[in-house]
Each structure stands twice: as C-alpha cells, then as structure tokens.
Amino acid sequence: MATPILAFCLLHLRIAFTDSACPPGIYHAAALRPGDALTRGELVLVCLPEALARFALERGYLARGAECGDGIEPVGKRIGALTGDTVAIAPDHVVVDGVPLPTSASRRRDSHGRAVPHIDFGNYRVRDGEVWLFGEADPRSWDSRYFGPLPTNAVRAQLMPVITW
C-alpha cells in the first residue's frame, strides 16, 4: 500500500474522482514557476483563500489535504477568464467575452439542499492578477460563479492527463 502512495507523491500524480472540470482519471501536476503564462482552458490546481477553503471543507465540497497551507486540498478547475476578459454572470448562464460557457447555470441549492451563496449577478472585467475558474463538464461544479475571481498566485500547478476513464 505504501509503494503506490509514495510513487504518486514522488511523481506528482493526482486522482480526479469527479468530472466537474475534467474526466475522472490520473493527472500529473506540473508545478508553475513565477512568470509561467496561464492560458484560457488550461486545467489547473488552485489553493483557495483560507476563508473560502474552510467554507468548502465545512460543506464537504473539499477534503483535508497537504498541498495548501490551510490543510485543505486544492481545487482542480479550468481557467475560464484572464486579465482583460469580460465575464457576465447570470442565473442561467456564464458568458466570457461574448462566448457562453456550457452547463454554466448557477445552482440555488447544493446536493444536500443547502443554499449556495454566489457572487452578485452582473458583468465583471478581469483585473490584472486575477483568474476566473470554471468546471464546465458538470453543472454541480463549485467554481467562480459562486466565489468570484481568485489571485493568479493561488494557481499552483497545471494538470495534465496521464490516463482518464
């Protein structure tokens, strides 16, 4: 049992069990270095700000993990908007620079029937040093529709598929 765990750690591998942003599978986490460019559509691993991460842990959206300083696992999402982009958030869709995102209606309740807080509906201009993250594959994804933009320095790694199912 210890050998596979050690191999996963040494090779920077992660297992994605949910399909909110990518197909379930095994992914390699390639650490980002200062100056690495982020691109729209890229699958990334992000440490949420501490208060947001604690909320996600309390709700069961995230679990404990060692990669982020607060002891809560990072999220894996796709970059949906970068500096200068315009993001329009409405109850039934998200539009980035005039292009609607698939399965992007905001949910009022989570799978346990609890109200899901979200940012104010409206138009946003992505500021320098911000990134908006989306999970376009599953309408249940908890992403920037609910918590807004995150600092680009919260992006820790690019996730690249090794094998998916």
Domains of the chain: 2-164 (2.10.109.10)
**Looking at per-residue confidence, does 7 or 78 come out higher?**
78
Would you give the distance in Å from CA 31 to the centre of its chain?
Answer: 16
- pLDDT, tens digit, 9 for 90 and up, residues 121-137: 999 999 999 999 999 77
Location of structure tokens 């869709």: 93
- Whole-model pTM? 0.89
The pLDDT > 70 percentage for the chain reads 99
- pLDDT, tens digit, 9 for 90 and up, residues 66-112: 889 889 999 999 999 999 999 999 999 999 999 999 989 999 999 99
Report the distance separating Cα 121 and Cα 102, nearest Å: 17
Fill in the amino acid letter for 32. L
Average pLDDT over residues 2-31: 82
Q: Facing residues of 79 across strands?
A: 133
Q: Which of 113, 116, 134, 105 is nearest to 55 (CA)?
A: 116
The Cβ of residue 125 has, within 10 Å, a number of other Cβ atoms equal to 11
Report the distance separating Cα 143 and Cα 69, nearest Å: 20
